[in-house]
Chain A
Amino acid sequence: MPWPTCDGVLLPPMNTLPSSPASSIDAILTQLNTVILGKSGPIRLALACLLARGHLLVEDLPGVGKTTLAHALARTLGLQFQRIQFTSDLLPADILGVPVFSSERKCFEFHPGPIFSQLVLADEINRATPKSQSALLEAMEEQQVTIEGITRHLPVPFFVIATQNPQEQIGTFPLPESQMDRFLMRLHLGYPDAAAERALLRGQDRRELVETLPTQVDGSALLALQQQVTQIHVSDALLDYLQAIIAHTRQPGIYRMGLSPRAVLALLRAAQAWAMVDHRDHVLPEDIQAVLPPVAGHRLHLRESPGLAPEQVTRRLIEAVPVP
């Protein structure tokens, strides 16, 4: 296993590009849909998020399949998987790792934390202290960890799925808005519908099923897919539409804050990934509209009626901006 030790740098193994991105994507989606039933929409979004090199925040009740989704993604994409259960006594070192003195080699040997993994599930992130939260978020942002003056790169691809339970209030530390901005998307899984639930009840245990999943794409093929996302064509007409949306969010008096340039880039990247998942080599206004709720939902807040559901907020935004 290419695991960092004293020198601490991991290089991805070289591999060939997948022959056809469309077929690999289809294979991935088909496999994921067999594990998580009735959730094809969120699954597509989650995959788009990953392909856009963004991180995902899943906000939902326990037991709707967040962990299963993360696990299934890791298996299908051939990613190393680590899960960090966030608790109030979690320390940054528990996430990042610690240098330990090795009596054999007479030096401090770095014991990497669970963050040194290609897919990290940060479970119930809002239960940890802000200090631990920011340790994770900084690592997410910078794709590297600096401990005792030594910078160690995180593996590539690197994908974090954080979950939080919005219902829990006591003893939690809700993520501040500035930290929310680091997640490309925020998704809700929600309860499965009746048919899906019945299939779930009839079927195999999901965890066991996940263990048996074959890898559809390996790490380097995934990197190639991520690279291809940036090549998805963006026309001037589409940029006009995107900028009209941004301009609308920045009008005074509607939102507490308009979309930041980082959010705009995120929106475009997500739309590109969405177009790719949809087998297209160019972005359409439909793609923007599809990714707008998960990308902008946690970034926009109406000045009036702050209690409105995020879906409603983004719905209104879409309806307010005409498509050219």
Chain B
Amino acid sequence: MAPLPRTLENTLPERSHALLWVIAAIGVAMAPHLFNQPLWVVLITALALIWRGGVHLGRLPMPSRWILVLLTVLMTGLVLGRYGTLFGRDAGVALLVLMTGLKLLETRTYRDAMVGVFLGYFVIITNFFYSQEIPVALYMLVAVFATTAALVRLNAGEGVQPARESFGLAGLMLGQAVPVMIILFLLFPRLPGPLWGAPQDSTAGVTGLSDSMSPGAISELLQSDAPAFRVSFVHDPPPPAERYWRGPVFWQFDGSTWRRGRDMGTTAPPLILEPTNLVTHTINLEPHQQRWLLALDVPVSVPPDARMTEDQYLVAGQPVRRLIQYTVDALPDGVLEPELTPERRQQALALPDQAAPRTQAMARKWRDQKDDDDVLIQAVLDHFHQEAFFYTLSPPPMSREPVDQFLFEARAGFCEHYASAFVVLMRAAGIPARVVTGYQGGEYNRLGNYLLVRQSDAHAWAEVWLEGRGWVRVDPTAAVAPERIESGIRTALAGDQAAPDFIRRGPGWGMARLQWALWRDSIDYYWSGWVLAFGPERQEELLERLGLGRLDWRGMVTLMVVLVGTVVLVFTAAFLWRNRPPKADPLAAIYGHFCRRLARVGLIRAPHEPPLDFGRRIARERPDLAEPVLDFIQAYVALRYGPAPDLTQYRQLQGRLRRIKP
């Protein structure tokens, strides 16, 4: 039996080294997992790739089936041993990467190599489980390009394509894919929240305000330079001293830790407002694993899929696991809860009996001297201001009765110490009070026209309830370190040894660097605002802005299909146009007409038959047609092939054609 023809389906193109390209592309795709996965995962895969490369170059033998089975079992075992599961983000990715390496070790045919290419694309996607920042996206673009080039090379057939051509075609294909990518990105129906329910561990370690406040909780956040959220305003941003970003509110105190207390699950009573000073702002909130949505103090509108708590802060329907964007109206001078129910009044005055006895005693002493709440509050603030209180990140340890220790011994602390002590003092003095956490400050980015609020801007302050004025914000930190409020954390803590570098060096540190940081952050802002936070709301907004109104998912899919179809049509048309047959000569057209007319009576011109020969043949076969046919052909030949053809004779040629009546 003759050997089967070597076809693309069952052999690998050997001479073009397409397999080495596939190997290299997979290597590029998995390289970032060096940072995401245990070292051995990437190392073992790299060894498998190198082994297969060695086989290709004839240096190493192909592993036997038994070794492969053994390796597969071993790798699965290793992943199970490391993660205790084969599912979830980390275990799944480790398994995928390892198995991609093993798949190449059994790659013998073209089809296997194609599977390798597609596994490469999958490996690229997995990188986004770990980071969605711009550098990662750019690197992945390179990886997609490399993988596509390998795909091109693998399909180039027997001929050896120059490398430049493989890359060129891959680039062309990706370039043509860009419009389709943009259409799919903009129009693919979005689900609220991540599509697959982001694995729990995907954003672990991202910090933010927690749902309780104990001494040291906020100063811990100060160690992080990471952005917490970015805000853009419809009008001018408020002055620095007004930049209080409201987060969770704490009622319950156990002597050292503040908690939210009983969440009634009710929505706040609607405020009676005069909407004069409404500050509309849009926030891009980084994921923080909790449900609160930060907003300028005090928010009065509720973004979709969120609710307003009775303490007038916003809570999302589910934990914020990806960057989200929402728009809120805030009323800086709004009256919060003008009537306090007895039940809530009691909660706002509650103190554990044994907590901070010295503080409580001092508060009662002040109460006795001063009847007026305002005077009392001012006295407490003056106390913080005039006595030797320090604002520092490294207070001495306060283990037992932290409030007493802080107020009477250490006299040094961070915002949470002051807020906590102040609320305890107020409550002991009979003024309803509570702790509010959130952020204070924010850096204005001129380039992007937005405020950047970092984790290090985390803050805690107090609110007291006053008859007729509702909850009023009192920030004891402002009494101790007014510069913290006016100029931000960097100024307040410049020189504090416990503060991280970026705070300690103060605001004047490296203008160029600051400029660069501004640039980088504005790019990040747009990236996060327009790419990462492009959820259902943004999509809706965009479609509305394009005048398409509110489209449901069916409308979006239809629009998407139509647009993608248009792109495909445009590219097809461009392709056909570039490869169009040479412009039809009117003479060729009339000759074609002539040939068809004769073909109807069985005088069919062979494709290679030149005109004069054809004419002579007709003259032989149909002497009755000889005269008009030869007349036509001679005129045609003279026009088409002769020197300086007189195109005015074209009409006469048509007349000659009409004379032929077979």
Q: Does B associate with A?
A: yes
Tell me the nearest residue of chain A to B637, going by C-beta: A284
B343 CB–A CB distance under 8 Å: no
Kindly identify which residue among B585, B588, B638, B641 contacts A283, using a CB–CB cutoff of 8 Å.
B641
A322 B608 Cβ-Cβ under 8 A: yes
A240 to chain B: which residues have CB within 8 Å?
582
Asked if A320 is at the interface of the complex by the 8 Å CB criterion, the answer is: yes
Given A286-B613, A324-B588, does the pair A237, B641 have CB atoms closer than 8 Å? Answer: yes
B610→A284 contact, CB < 8 A: yes
Docked CA distance A190–B608 (Å)? 27
1/0 per position for A226-241, CB-CB distance to B under 8 A? 0000000101011010
A275 to chain B: closest residue by CB: B641
Do B642 and A281 touch (CB < 8 A)?
yes
> Complex formed: what's the CA distance from A319 to B613 in Å?
14
Answer yes or no: A282 CB below 8 A from chain B CBs.
yes
Shortest CB distance B25–A (Å): 29
Whether B640 pairs with A322 at a CB distance below 8 angstroms is no
CB proximity to B under 8 Å, residues A60-75: none
Return chain A residues, CB-CB under 8 Å to B640: 235, 237
Could you tell me if B585 and A289 are in contact, using CB atoms closer than 8 angstroms?
Answer: no
The residue that A282 contacts in the complex, of B587, B607, B641, with Cβ under 8 A, is B641
B607, B609, B643: the one contacting A233 at CB < 8 Å is: B643
| Docked complex: A73-114 residues within 8 A CB-CB of B | none
> Contact at B642–A285, with CB atoms within 8 Å?
no
Instruction: Give 1 or 0 for each of A283-318: 1 = CB within 8 Å of chain B CB.
Output: 111100100000000000000000000000000001
Is the pair B610, A286 in contact by a Cβ cutoff of 8 Å? yes
| B188 CB, min distance to chain A CBs, angstroms | 44
Which one of B582, B588, B610, B611 has the greatest number of beta carbons of chain A within 10 Å? B610
Distance to closest chain A CB from B599 (angstroms): 15
Residues in B whose Cβ lies below 8 Å from that of A319: 606, 608
B612 contacts the other chain (Cβ, under 8 Å)?
yes
Residues of B within 8 A of A285 (CB): 610-611, 641
A180 to B582, CA, bound (A): 35
Task: With both chains docked as a complex, state the minimum distance between the C-beta of A87 and any C-beta of chain B, in angstroms.
Answer: 44
Given contacts A237-B585, A238-B641, A324-B588, contact A284 B608 (CB under 8 A): no
In whole angstroms, how far apart are the Cα atoms of A247 and B637 in the complex? 24
Q: Contact: A282 with B643, CB < 8 Å?
A: yes
Q: B582's closest neighbor in chain A, by CB?
A: A240
How many angstroms between the C-alpha atoms of A285 and B641 in the bound complex?
9
Min C-beta distance of B130 to chain A, whole Å: 48
Are A284 and B612 CB-contacts (below 8 A) given A233-B643, A235-B640, A237-B585?
Answer: yes
Q: Is A254 an interface residue (CB 8 A)?
A: no
Which partner residue on chain A sits nearest B645 by CB separation? A235
Q: Is the CB of A318 within 8 A of B608?
A: yes
Q: Provide the residues of chain B in CB contact with A233, threshold 8 Å.
A: 641-643
Interface footprint category on B? 10 to 19
Known contacts A233-B643, A240-B582; A286/B612 CB under 8 A: yes
Question: Once bound together, how far apart are the Cα atoms of A283 and B641, in whole Å?
Answer: 7
Q: Contact check: which of B606, B608, B612, B642 meets A235 at CB < 8 Å?
A: B642
Q: B585: nearest residue on chain A (CB-CB)?
A: A237
Taking the closest CB of chain A, its distance from the CB of B609, in whole angstroms, is: 6
Question: A286: shortest Cβ distance to chain B, in Å?
Answer: 4
Measured in the bound complex, the distance between the Cα atoms of B611 and A42 in whole Å is 23
Bound Cα distance from A238 to B588, whole angstroms: 12
Bound together, the chains give a CA A286 to CA B617 distance in angstroms of 13
- Determine if A175 is an interface residue (Cβ-Cβ < 8 Å): no
Contact with A along B573-607 (1 / 0, CB 8 A): 00000000010010110000000000000000011
Q: Which residue of A lies closest to B644 (CB)?
A: A233
Taken together as a complex, chains A and B put the C-alpha atoms of A289 and B613 apart, in Å, by 11
Give Cα A193 to B588, complex, Å.
41
Could you give, for residues 31-74 of chain A, a 1 whenever the CB lies within 8 Å of some chain B CB and a 0 otherwise? 00000000000000000000000000000000000000000000
The yes or no answer to A9 lying at the interface (CB within 8 A) is no
Q: CA–CA, A283 to B642, complex, Å?
A: 8
Beta-carbon contact of A284 and B607 below 8 Å: no
Question: B609–A323 contact, CB under 8 A?
Answer: yes
Is A321 in the interface zone, CB < 8 Å from B? Answer: yes
A107, chain B: closest CB distance, angstroms: 53
The complex places the Cα of A322 from the Cα of B605 at a distance, in Å, of 10
Question: Which of these, B582, B609, B641, B645, contacts A284 with CB under 8 Å?
Answer: B641
How far is A281 from B645 in the complex, measured between Cα atoms in Å?
A: 12
Q: For residue B285, give the distance in angstroms from its CB to the closest CB of chain A.
A: 61
Closest to B612 in A: A286
- Distance to closest chain B CB from A162 (angstroms): 31
Asked if residues B610 and A235 are in contact (CB atoms below 8 Å), the reply is: no
- Give complex CA distance A285, B588 in Å: 14
Kindly state the separation between the CA atoms of A319 and B607 in the bound complex, as whole angstroms.
8
In chain B, positions 628-647 with a C-beta closer than 8 Å to chain A are 637-638, 640-643, 645
**A211 to B351 CA separation, bound complex (whole angstroms):** 142
Within A243-288, which residues are at the interface with B (CB < 8 Å)? 281-286
Bound-state CA distance A283–B640 (Å) is: 10
A314 to B463, CA, bound (A): 101
**Chain A neighbourhood of B609, CB < 8 A:** 323
Query: Smallest CB-CB separation from B591: which chain A residue?
Result: A324
In whole angstroms, how far apart are the Cα atoms of A324 and B641 in the complex?
Answer: 11
Within 8 A of A (CB), among B137-156: none
Please tell me which one of the listed residues B607, B611, B642, B643 contacts residue A322 in the complex, with CB atoms under 8 A apart: B607
Please name all residues of chain A whose beta carbon is closer than 8 Å to the beta carbon of B645 when the two chains form the complex.
Answer: 235
Please, how many angstroms separate the alpha-carbon atoms of A125 and B5 in the complex?
Answer: 44
Q: Residue among B582, B608, B612, B640 with the most chain A CB within 10 A?
A: B608
Q: Name A320's closest neighbour in chain B (CB-CB).
A: B608
The interface residues of chain B lying within 8 Å CB-to-CB of A324 are: 588
Return the contact of A321 from the options B585, B608, B641 (Cβ within 8 A): B608
What separation, in Å, do the CA atoms of A324 and B585 have in the docked complex? Answer: 10
Tell whether, in the assembled complex, residue A323 and residue B610 are in contact, meaning their CB atoms are under 8 Å apart: yes
Report how far A139 CA is from B640 CA in the complex, Å: 40
Given contacts A240-B582, A284-B612, contact A235 B641 (CB under 8 A): yes
The CA of A320 and the CA of B608, in the complex, are separated in Å by 7
B622 vs chain A, min Cβ distance (A): 20
| B639 shortest CB reach to chain A, Å | 9
Interface centre among A281, A282, A283 (most CB of B within 10 A): A282
> Which residues of chain A come closer than 8 Å to B582, judged between CB atoms?
240
Chain B residues contacting A318 (CB-CB under 8 Å) are: 608
B581 to chain A, nearest CB (A): 10
A240-B582, A284-B637, A286-B613 known; A323+B643 contact, CB < 8 A: no
Question: In the complex, which residues of chain B have a beta carbon less than 8 angstroms from the beta carbon of A281?
Answer: 642-643
Q: Are the C-beta atoms of B611 and A323 separated by less than 8 Å?
A: yes
Contact at A323–B607, with CB atoms within 8 Å?
yes
Q: Which of chain B's residues have a CB closer than 8 A to the CB of A237? A: 585, 587-588, 640-641
CB distance from B177 to the nearest CB of A (A): 31
Task: Report the separation of the CA atoms of residues A310 and B233 in the bound assembly, to the nearest whole angstrom.
Answer: 85
Question: In the complex, which residues of chain B have a beta carbon less than 8 angstroms from the beta carbon of A322?
Answer: 607-608
Nearest neighbor of A319 in chain B, beta-carbon distance: B608
A324 and B588 CA atoms in complex are apart in Å by: 7
| Residue of B with least CB distance to A252 | B159
A80 to B611, CA, bound (A): 41
**A232 → B minimal CB distance (Å):** 9
> Once the chains are docked, how many angstroms separate the CA of A284 from the CA of B642?
9
Cβ B642 vs Cβ A282 within 8 A = yes
Q: Which of B587, B611, B643 has the most CB of A within 10 A?
A: B643
Chain A residue contacts of B612, Cβ below 8 A: 284, 286
Apart from A282-B643, A284-B612, A284-B641, 13 more pairs, CB < 8 Å: A235-B642, A237-B588, A238-B641, A281-B642, A282-B638, A282-B641, A283-B641, A284-B611, A285-B611, A286-B612, A319-B606, A320-B608, A322-B607
Question: Nearest 9 pairs between A and B by C-beta?
Answer: A322-B607, A233-B643, A285-B610, A286-B610, A282-B642, A235-B641, A282-B641, A323-B610, A319-B608
Q: List 11 A-B contacts (CB under 8 A).
A: A235-B640, A237-B587, A237-B640, A282-B642, A284-B612, A284-B637, A285-B611, A286-B610, A286-B613, A323-B608, A323-B609
Which A residues contact B (CB, under 8 angstroms)?
233, 235, 237-238, 240, 281-286, 289, 318-324
Using a CB–CB cutoff of 8 Å, the interface residues on chain B facing chain A are: 582, 585, 587-588, 606-613, 637-638, 640-643, 645
